[in-house]
Chain A
Amino acid sequence: MNAIAPISNGQSQSIVSRFAVPAIRCAGCISKIENGLSGVPGIISSRVNFSTKQVAITHLPELDDDQLRRKIETLGFEAQILADNPLAEEKGSTDKLIRALAVAGFGMMNIMLLSVSVWSGAAGVTRDLFHWLSALIAIPVIAYSGRPFFASAAMALRYGRTNMDVPISIGILLATGLSIYETATGGAHAYFDGAVMLLFFLLAGRVLDGMMRDRAREGIGALLKQTAPGAMIVENDGNTRWVAAKELQPDMRMMVAAGGNLAADGMIETGSSSFDCSLMTGESEPQPKGKGDMVLAGTLNLSSPVIVRVTAIGEDTSVSDIARLMDEAGQRRSFYVRVADRAARYYAPAVHSLALLAFAYWMFAGAGWHQSLLIAVAVLIITCPCALGLAVPAAQVVASGALLRKGVMVKDGSALERLAEVDYALFDKTGTLTLGRPTPVNLDDLSLTQKQVTLALAQASRHPISKGIRSGLLALDIEPAALDDIQEVPGKGMTAHWNGVKVMLGKPEKSEDHLSSQLTVGSENVVLQLQDEIRPDAPEAIARLQAFGLPASIISGDNIRSVSLVSGALDIPAQAGASPQDKVEAITRLTDSGHKVLMVGDGLNDGPALAAAHVSIAPGSASDVGQQAADAVFTSESLLPVALSVKVARRTMQIVHQNFALAIGYNIFAVPLALTGMVTPLIAAIAMSLSSLIVVGNALRLNGAAN
């Protein structure tokens, strides 16, 4: 999870932990976090990455992730620990592409300088010298910058297939070979400029595409991170020892402290406690579990220590099942062929045939092999999918940039394609349609001392309702009362003594609504009502989606009562009590009936559904897994960005289609010229860059699409 790196002074080891802090909005936030953390003992340095809304903290091993997270939270920012990016290698591949692009750009500019002189009439020795110089620059540049294409083409050919890179590689290599021949024999034309420029524009497209993919983060590893790294094992002789999660064996007895995560599935042997299973089931209310009950890896023990006999470990645990579901769902979707690739399937063979036909025709017409080959190469180059290659990524990068400024992070370019196609929206409830944090609504019913007692009791518990009450009271500047003898009774609540009086905060005796809590001080009783507020703008967002032709409905793991409250308020249908599998099935059903489903959800239990849906969006407050599995993340409290994303995605696809039309139109215009042998290097160069620039310019219009 964390990279361990030795510090140079050799005294101790430092660890780098990364946190997602979605609330970073401005320079003030950067300095607040960095300065706030710099004074903390044990923290060596901290660095905010504004673009990715992350904080990297280098610290001593004494500080654990949870302490660091709380430290960031005291600075006023919600934080979530991040696993190391499993796609770090992919990031490296974009870096390689950018280097290749830089080299190609350098080569292109210098060769162009020489070429312009040749076109303007340099002749004889000067021309030959310039051609030799061009060759000197072009050959290493092509060898370096062309590798991504050559490697991909070689791979495709080895498996007897063809892709867009095959005609590109053949075109570039033939053009280079011919140019070297021309140069060596003192010919009038060399095509080094064309070949290198081709590379430059193609690489530009690849880099834009790669930048989109880099935003993607895979979620499987993060999911398994929810389980504890190990557990305290109680030996038969009563001794305890720490065992790493992967070395656990069935039938071991592990001790799970209050506030601890489970490392494996198991059955409670001794003790009883309440468990936060919301990550697994979506049920927001903690579940009381006692002797003989099954508890699952990844769930959180809330109140008191229990001893659990391990029944399933590692790959057999339920959380691994969810990971596998997500993996399978993700693979199913990866069969979706990207638009450009789809085009390439027909495009590459067509280009090959065309060039071959041109070569055969001119040979037959008696133009000689040199002239014929030249024309064939011209055809390969001029049909180069520069504009076609830029058409999709340029539009996607501009659109996702525009969305990013509105607080929506799109992780993958193809997500925009898929988002434009959706015609049905499924929403999770807790944390998605609602804010996912219950807030007390009738705090005014309490007297000041009651508030102080309530705060002291609520502070001692990790129960979501206690957290809600605590933050509500803290907002009123209440000081906690001094209590003795605080205890948590699983499934009941907190008890304590205050000035000799028994006080209690817990489940109301006559519980009609699960989001309520009763405070007892001596003989006085007050019932606190809590409410999980619906996100601001949710009704408008759903109305907008419906206007786009996307009917919405709710699918939630929560109980029917709390779901019906929200579905009633928003006036949309709902399904309650849905397990992760149920959610995936619901999506599969919709997909089978011809719908393309947009899933909006946040929890770990939504992970498989998020991955199975045609496209998915998660709120910034979502669990790691939710964020990882989703194609886009919105950081604001409002739900409007969901509707906005659909709008921008549809606009993006319009622009992409226009770009395709432009690129194809250019080919219709240019190919006949090339076939008839009328294209000089100058015309080819101008036509090629012009078509690419028009496509990029068209894509830039998307900048305003998010407004």
Chain B
Amino acid sequence: MSGLAILIPVALLMGLCGLVFFFWAMRNDQFEDLDGAAQRVLIDEQDEPS
């Protein structure tokens, strides 16, 4: 029973953290351009004179 008293809050807290991070990511438009994010990995910043 004492194990549960620790584990259940831990499980809930972890889930809640995930939820908070997800909301944060949504608010910051992280899901606006999923294909673009995959493509941008390939851009080599060093090569571009700017």
Interface string of A71-83 (1 = CB under 8 A from B): 0000000000000
| Stretch of A99-107, A471-479, A645-653, A667-675 lying at the B interface | A99-107
Provide the residues of chain B in CB contact with A106, threshold 8 Å.
Answer: 15-16, 18-19
Bound Cα distance from A49 to B39, whole angstroms = 11
Q: Which of A26, A52, A110, A137 contacts B33 (CB 8 A)?
A: A52
Contact B33 A31 (CB under 8 A): no
Bound Cα distance from A98 to B22, whole angstroms = 10
Does A113 interact with chain B (Cβ within 8 Å)? yes
Interface string of A19-47 (1 = CB under 8 A from B): 00000001100110001001100000000
Chain B: minimal CB distance from A378 (Å): 28
Does A51 interact with chain B (Cβ within 8 Å)? yes
Chain A: minimal CB distance from B30 (Å): 12
Provide the residues of chain A in CB contact with B1, threshold 8 Å.
Answer: 126
Bound Cα distance from A408 to B48, whole angstroms = 31
Provide the residues of chain A in CB contact with B16, threshold 8 Å.
Answer: 106
Provide the residues of chain B in CB contact with A126, threshold 8 Å.
Answer: 1, 4
Contact B50 A38 (CB under 8 A): yes
Contact B26 A50 (CB under 8 A): no
Provide the residues of chain A in CB contact with B19, threshold 8 Å.
Answer: 102-103, 106
Provide the residues of chain A in CB contact with B23, threshold 8 Å.
Answer: 99, 102
Chain A: minimal CB distance from B48 (Å): 5
Bound Cα distance from A95 to B4, whole angstroms = 35
Check A109/B36 contact, CB under 8 A, given A35-B48, A99-B26.
Answer: no
Check A39/B8 contact, CB under 8 A, given A27-B39, A51-B33.
Answer: no
Chain A: minimal CB distance from B15 (Å): 5
Provide the residues of chain A in CB contact with B48, threshold 8 Å.
Answer: 31, 35
Contact B50 A110 (CB under 8 A): no
Contact B22 A27 (CB under 8 A): no
Contact B18 A48 (CB under 8 A): no
Does A441 interact with chain B (Cβ within 8 Å)? no
Provide the residues of chain B in CB contact with A95, threshold 8 Å.
Answer: 26
Contact B34 A51 (CB under 8 A): yes
Does B42 interact with chain A (Cβ within 8 Å)? yes
Q: Which of A31, A51, A99, A137 contacts B12 (CB 8 A)?
A: A137
Q: Which of B8, B32, B39 contacts A133 (CB 8 A)?
A: B8
Provide the residues of chain A in CB contact with B41, threshold 8 Å.
Answer: 27
Contact A110 B39 (CB under 8 A): no
Bound Cα distance from A52 to B32, whole angstroms = 9
By beta carbon, the residue of chain B nearest A25 is B39
Bound Cα distance from A102 to B25, whole angstroms = 12
Contact B26 A49 (CB under 8 A): no
By beta carbon, the residue of chain B nearest A101 is B22
Contact A27 B40 (CB under 8 A): yes
Bound Cα distance from A98 to B32, whole angstroms = 13
Chain A: minimal CB distance from B49 (Å): 8
By beta carbon, the residue of chain A nearest B41 is A27
Bound Cα distance from A52 to B1, whole angstroms = 53
Does B6 interact with chain A (Cβ within 8 Å)? no
CB within 8 Å of A: which of B4-47? 4, 8, 11-12, 15-16, 18-19, 22-23, 26, 32-36, 39-43
By beta carbon, the residue of chain B nearest A29 is B39
Provide the residues of chain B in CB contact with A137, threshold 8 Å.
Answer: 12
In this complex, the interface size class of chain B, counting residues with CB under 8 Å from chain A, is: 20 to 34
Chain B: minimal CB distance from A439 (Å): 32
Contact B35 A51 (CB under 8 A): yes
Contact A48 B15 (CB under 8 A): no
Provide the residues of chain B in CB contact with A110, threshold 8 Å.
Answer: 11-12, 15
Provide the residues of chain B in CB contact with A27, threshold 8 Å.
Answer: 39-43
Chain A: minimal CB distance from B40 (Å): 6
By beta carbon, the residue of chain A nearest B27 is A95
Provide the residues of chain B in CB contact with A38, threshold 8 Å.
Answer: 50
Contact B39 A26 (CB under 8 A): yes
Bound Cα distance from A99 to B41, whole angstroms = 27
Provide the residues of chain B in CB contact with A52, threshold 8 Å.
Answer: 33
Check A50/B12 contact, CB under 8 A, given A102-B19, A102-B23.
Answer: no
Chain A: minimal CB distance from B5 (Å): 10
Bound Cα distance from A34 to B33, whole angstroms = 15
Provide the residues of chain B in CB contact with A113, threshold 8 Å.
Answer: 11
Bound Cα distance from A49 to B37, whole angstroms = 9
Bound Cα distance from A133 to B4, whole angstroms = 12
Check A35/B42 contact, CB under 8 A, given A109-B15, A110-B12.
Answer: no
Contact A50 B35 (CB under 8 A): yes
Chain B: minimal CB distance from A447 (Å): 40
Provide the residues of chain B in CB contact with A35, threshold 8 Å.
Answer: 48, 50
Q: Which of A30, A99, A114 contacts B43 (CB 8 A)?
A: A30
Chain B: minimal CB distance from A135 (Å): 14
Chain A: minimal CB distance from B41 (Å): 8
Bound Cα distance from A672 to B36, whole angstroms = 49
By beta carbon, the residue of chain A nearest B36 is A50
Contact A30 B26 (CB under 8 A): no
By beta carbon, the residue of chain A nearest B19 is A106
Provide the residues of chain B in CB contact with A48, threshold 8 Å.
Answer: 36
Chain B: minimal CB distance from A123 (Å): 13
Provide the residues of chain A in CB contact with B22, threshold 8 Å.
Answer: 102
Bound Cα distance from A99 to B21, whole angstroms = 12
- Report 18 cross-chain contacts, Cβ distance below 8 Å, ordered by A residue: A26-B39, A26-B42, A27-B39, A30-B36, A30-B43, A31-B43, A35-B50, A39-B50, A49-B32, A51-B33, A51-B34, A98-B26, A102-B19, A103-B19, A106-B16, A106-B18, A110-B11, A114-B8
Beyond contacts A27-B40, A110-B12: 17 other A-B pairs, Cβ-Cβ < 8 A, are A26-B42, A31-B48, A50-B33, A50-B35, A50-B36, A51-B33, A51-B34, A51-B35, A52-B33, A103-B19, A106-B18, A106-B19, A110-B11, A110-B15, A113-B11, A126-B1, A126-B4
The residues of B with any CB-CB pair to A shorter than 8 Å are: 1, 4, 8, 11-12, 15-16, 18-19, 22-23, 26, 32-36, 39-43, 48, 50
* CB-based closest 7 A-B pairs: A50-B36, A27-B42, A27-B39, A31-B43, A49-B33, A51-B35, A106-B19
The residues of A with any CB-CB pair to B shorter than 8 Å are: 26-27, 30-31, 35, 38-39, 48-52, 95, 98-99, 102-103, 106, 109-110, 113-114, 126, 133, 137
